[in-house]
Amino acid sequence: MDPEALKKYSTLHPKPAGVTLQYGTAGFRTKAEHLDHVMFRMGLLAVLRSKATVSTIGVMVTASHNPEEDNGVKLVDPLGEMLHPSWEEYATQLVNAEEQELQKTLNEICQKAGVNQHKDASVFIGRDTRPSSEKLSQSVIDGISVLGGQYHDYGLVTTPQLHYMVCCQNTQGQYGKATLEGYYEKLSKAFAELIKQSPSSGESQRHWKIDCANGIGALKLSEMEPYFPKEVLIHIYNDGTKEKLNHLCGADFVKVHQKPPRGLDMEPNERCCSFDGDADRIVYYYKDATGRFHLIDGDKIATLISIFLKELLAKMGQTLQMAVVQTAYANGSSTRYLEETLKVPVHCVKTGVKHLHHKAQEFDVGVYFEANGHGTVLFSKAAESTVRQLAKEEKDGERREAAKVLENMIDLINQTVGDAISDMLVIEAILALKGLTVQQWNAIYTDLPNRLLKVQVADRRVIDTTDAERRAVTPSGLQEKIDALVKKYKLSRAFVRPSGTEDVVRIYAEADTQENADALAHEVSLAVYHLAGGRGAPPQP
């Protein structure tokens, strides 16, 4: 480590006074103009992480579904997973270190993490389409270069594509080729094989309407289009040529506002979907003949995938252990359907993709989705080799065919992280193979009416939770109050949890009617306001 070079480069990327940031599930995210020093230092950290793991590490410059003027950065670990929690702390330390402490902080991290500084370092970089992303990724490159790391800049890619590249590279190509062509070829080949088997294969055109949030998804989907089977016609809306990223469009907008994105004309009963700004989330929706809007969120996506995988495993005669992982925000109807009708075990974990991903790794087949549309399916090494072997060698025709379908599913799913493009192809393949319409998919179960609220508090840390955030431990008396309120309504539940980013407490309530869900949410918000130090005027119904 050359102290002079570090000092020289560090002054080119100075830390603004009074800015402190925390590395969370989404990495670092804030206004783009406050991020130059962060990017430089994440370049430094990526080199150390690469030396520590003796692997290639990814750095993705994106702020996902945030407004266009924001930006952010997250690191990708060797198998395409999110950064290890102990390194999240190092990231926070490094970004908040004063200029003159930088060398010392780097040395401390090397010592704590046992980094061998003589190892080579290799970093993959990707960025989204924000106006600030190119300059910020250059700052990352400065950080990598000053510590002598090698890098490959993929330029404009979706977040899941960068995760995929990192995994391909570190599995020496076993997971696939670490190029965009490799990604397009692997996914489109698996998809084409699957829809060949569908009842209506080749007969009719398949029209897909996709809102790409004016983001990177539009660019990459157009690049991928020539790889799709001839009968697939994609219509991209909000492609980024006219409007601002995530403005009145994208998966987050549709989920929160429960209405279609701007610029997309929907025919009755026509299925449409929306990606978010960096294409790692997807939601579906349609309007019925009366013009009513229906959202199909991550819970329903997980259910559709689970039904399909369970049927395949049964056809193969396999007793592989399958489970679905959800958070407390999952609609109670989905949990009930999965457990009682489908007889698939459901596990609830704390909010945040890393918790879901980690839990899903415990099973042969682990399906996880957040209600917001971020999710994927993980297959254990043993399960995957069983499936591939059966697809090759199984004597029984029906079992072998089922194994082939599952083998193609495994290739179509991006197991590193939620991926809107991959998830869309998985969903479209399942709907085609099962001959389901969007209305039939939506009718698998009916969501319980629910309401999300937030209450401003002086200090969010007064609320502590347990049981995967479903019960409040402090302040005392709050959980008892919530329990009493829940008893007043049918099919009801409610929970509160502190926000990870601001001094607010988030409240979720569901009940048999919208009126009751609203009333319960309001009463719980009053309890939080009075018992947890609410700020400003009390919540109004």
Active site residues: 64
Are 520 and 511 within 8 A, CB to CB? yes
Q: Is 394 exposed, middle or buried (0-12, 13-18, 19+ CB in 10 A)?
A: middle
CB atoms within 10 A of CB 196: 12
Q: For the chain, what's the residue count?
A: 541
Instruction: Please return the burial class of 230, using the count of CB atoms within 10 Å of its CB with bins 0-12, 13-18 and 19+.
Output: exposed
Q: What are phi and psi of 77, to 5 degrees?
A: -80, 170
Residue 423's nearest CA partner among 258, 251, 255, 294 is 251
Q: Is 501 annotated as a binding residue?
A: yes
- The annotation status of 276 as a binding-site residue, yes or no, is yes
Annotated binding residue 132: no
Is beta strand 28-31 parallel, antiparallel or unpaired with respect to 70-76? antiparallel
411 marked ligand binding residue: no
Residue 370 is labelled as binding a ligand? yes
The reply to whether 2 sits in an annotated binding site is: no
371 is in an annotated binding site: yes
373 and 251 in contact (C-beta within 8 Å)? Answer: yes
**278 in a labelled binding site:** yes
Please work out, in degrees rounded to the nearest 5, the angle formed at the alpha carbon of residue 459 by the alpha carbons of 458 and 460. Answer: 125
Is 71 annotated for ligand binding?
Answer: no
Q: Is 122 annotated as a binding residue?
A: no
Whether cis (ω within 30° of 0) applies to the bond prior to 539 is: no
In degrees and rounded to multiples of 5, residue 104 shows phi and psi of -65, -45
- For residue 399, how far is the Cα from the chain centroid? 33
341 to 23, 264, 303: CA distances (angstroms): 40, 36, 11
The span from the first CA to the last CA of the chain, in angstroms, equals 59
Q: Characterize 290-328 residue by residue with b for buried, 16 or more Cβ atoms within 10 angstroms of its Cβ, and e for exposed.
A: eeeebbbbbbbbbbbbbbbbbebbebbebebebbbbbbb
Known binding-site positions for Mg(2+)? 64, 276, 278, 280
Known binding-site positions for substrate? 370-372, 497-501, 506
Known binding-site positions? 64, 276, 278, 280, 370-372, 497-501, 506
